Amino acid sequence: MVIIPCSADKAARPAPAAELYTGSYHRLARAAAETLTATGGRILILSGLHGLLTPDRVIAPYDHRMGQPGSVTPSQLRSQAGELGVADADEVVVLAGRAYAEAVQPIWEHALLPLAGSRGIGDHRARLSLIRDQGMTTK
């Protein structure tokens, strides 16, 4: 399973999550996730407001960032993971920045965090591009 972040840039009207989020970082993370799941696996989108979303779940545009008041809580994420049947996932890769990785670590302590320790958005983009192009999840 691969978890990717939502994005601040969104379509103007309700859409499936995979179409709602239009930001370049999200699109790059999604492309990397698609490489990692090409032979099997699942992609989930982590929203600061909605929590774990399947790419086909239709939601309305909103303005909310992870960590702001009203953000999804660890207990809500744990409940959603159970409802989605992924709470016991053995292989979890989080292709997102620190705030998103920290949100899911209580559920998947064993998750791979290939963007951890990076020096900013440029480094994130470079690592995501490498994963997209070569399927690599380690530094």
For residues 46 and 75, the answer to whether their CB atoms sit within 8 Å is no
Any idea which of 36-45, 56-65, 71-80, 128-137 has the lowest mean pLDDT? 128-137
Query: Strand pairing partners for 4?
Result: 45
pLDDT at 138: 56
pLDDT at 139: 44
| Interacting residues of 13 by C-beta distance below 8 A, sequence separation 6+ | 60, 61
What whole-number distance in Å separates Cα of residue 34 and Cα of residue 43? 8
pLDDT in tens, 106-138: 999 999 999 988 888 899 999 999 999 998 765
pLDDT at 120: 84
For residues 62 and 72, the answer to whether their CB atoms sit within 8 Å is no
Query: pTM for this structure?
Result: 0.94
What is the average pLDDT value for the chain, to the nearest integer? Answer: 94
